[in-house]
Structure 1
Amino acid sequence: MDLFSRSWTALLAAVADLSDEDFARPSGCAGWLVRDLVCHLVIDAQDVLITLVTPADTPPTRDAVTYWAVSRTPPTGDDPLDALVVRLAAAYGEPRLLKFHLDDVGSAAGRAARLADPGLRVNTQDEVLTAGDYISAYVLEWTLHHLDLVAHLPDAAGPSAEVLAGARELLEKIAGTAFPSSFSDTDALLVGTRRRAPSDRETAQLGVLCTTLPLILG
């Protein structure tokens, strides 16, 4: 719960600090500008709110690790849902309106997460998780998207060291193995999810782990 709050609060603050010009810059997500990514965060925040008020009365079918559907095909930005996000983002017109909506819905999602009983079973995407596992899974989502947000904004604040370490730990559990200790947490997250390609040196350090990468989470 604490890492969720820290990661989400930092991400909301980073968006709030963006200039209007920043919204037109590319993000770390293929085919998306920063404005498109921020619009996606609005949708994510809505999903958190919906899930935390959708209780389930059956045993959990997923946890924070198995919540993720993993593929090895990087997104191209051509998926119909990705294209819908681009159209929605453009409809806001002014960055301040998108900022306002994210702050409004995002703050509510943060409060809902802090108030949630970690043991509460919730339903999302036809799966059942505890609220604690669901919120823990989203630490990875927020951290990766925070890295996406600042990918081409060198002066913007990125995730904290504590949050990066927590996200790396979860990604390693999804991978079923640890990344080399020579990898920083940021590099493990970026290379592991193919937000950037590994260098020749990193490829050698990854060894057989290369055969299971990238981990594209959906």
Structure 2
Amino acid sequence: MDLFSRSWTALRAAVEDLSGQDMQRPSGCTGWLVRDLVCHLIIDAQDVLITLVTPADTAPTADATTYWNLVDPPTGDDPLDALIPRLAAAYGDPGLLKFHLDDVGSAAGRAAELADPSARVSTQDKVLTAGDYLTAYNLEWTLHHLDLTAHLPKAAAPPSETLRAARTALENIAGTQFPEQFSDKEALLIGTGRRPPTTAEKTALGDELATKIPLILG
């Protein structure tokens, strides 16, 4: 729960510091500008609000690790992926995107703080505790923070503790650890296919892990 708050607060603060020009730069999500990513974050915040008020009365079927599905790399044909850039462009003024994220994002943050970690919630045909659900989202927020700042070298990076926790979460999903010499940021970027490994990094990964990446989360 604390990691959710730290990563979400840091991500929203990074968005707040963006200029209009920053919003037009590429993000770390292939085919999306920074403004498109911010629009996606608004939808993510709405999903958090919806899930936290969707109680379940059955036993959990997933936890913070099994919440994630491994999917095929995006092709650009998904209707939602295509909708996001059009929706972001419809805002016109980038300041409206920032305002909407601050409004909905603040509400999602408050809802997370008020949630009972042991309460069971339902999302994507899965049941899990609110604590596990919010823990899973630390990985989402941290990856998107890296996406947001991929081409903005002066922007604030994700907090070190959320990077470390996100790396551990990705290792749990992979079922194995990344090489110790990889920084947390490198492990996340390489592990999720956000950048290809160098020849030396491929060697360090080893055959088992190299065949598992990229881990595309859905």
Counterpart of 2:13 in structure 1 is 13
Secondary structure, counterpart of 2:66 in structure 1: coil
Secondary structure, counterpart of 2:128 in structure 1: strand
Q: Deviations over 1:18-42 (max 9, x none)?
A: 0000111000001100000000000
Secondary structure, counterpart of 2:127 in structure 1: strand
| In structure 1, C-alpha distance between the alignment counterparts of 2:62 and 2:107, rounded to whole Å | 25
| In structure 2, C-alpha distance between the alignment counterparts of 1:128 and 1:171, rounded to whole Å | 20
Secondary structure, counterpart of 1:118 in structure 2: coil
Is residue 91 of structure 1 aligned with residue 90 of structure 2? Answer: yes
Amino acid across the alignment from 2:29: C
What does 1:1-218 align with in structure 2 at a 5 Å threshold?
Answer: 1-71=1-71, 73-208=72-207, 209-218=209-218
Amino acid across the alignment from 1:193: T
Q: Deviations over 1:170-211 (max 9, x none)?
A: 000000000000000000000000000000000000002101
Q: CA deviation at 1:77?
A: 3.4
| In structure 2, C-alpha distance between the alignment counterparts of 1:10 and 1:161, rounded to whole Å | 11
Secondary structure, counterpart of 2:122 in structure 1: strand
Q: 4+ residue stretches of structure 1 with deviation over 6 A?
A: none
- Report how many residues are paired: 217
Q: CA deviation at 1:78?
A: 3.5
| Residue segments in structure 2 that go unaligned for 5+ positions in a row | none
- After superposition, the CA RMSD in angstroms is 0.7
Q: CA deviation at 1:74?
A: 2.4
Q: CA deviation at 1:80?
A: 1.4
Contact 1:55 1:120 in 2 (8 A): yes
Amino acid across the alignment from 2:84: V
| In structure 2, C-alpha distance between the alignment counterparts of 1:214 and 1:27, rounded to whole Å | 18
Q: CA deviation at 1:128?
A: 0.4
Q: CA deviation at 1:158?
A: 1.2
> Cα 1:113–1:7, aligned 2, differ >3 Å: closer, same or farther?
same
| In structure 1, C-alpha distance between the alignment counterparts of 2:93 and 2:158, rounded to whole Å | 26
Contact 1:26 1:152 in 2 (8 A): yes
Q: Percent identity?
A: 74
Q: Deviations over 1:28-70 (max 9, x none)?
A: 0011000000000000000000000000000011100000011
Q: CA deviation at 1:75?
A: 2.1
TM-score of the aligned structures, taking structure 2 as reference length: 0.98
| In structure 1, C-alpha distance between the alignment counterparts of 2:185 and 2:150, rounded to whole Å | 11
Amino acid across the alignment from 1:98: L
Secondary structure, counterpart of 1:106 in structure 2: helix
Amino acid across the alignment from 1:201: A
| In structure 2, C-alpha distance between the alignment counterparts of 1:47 and 1:159, rounded to whole Å | 22
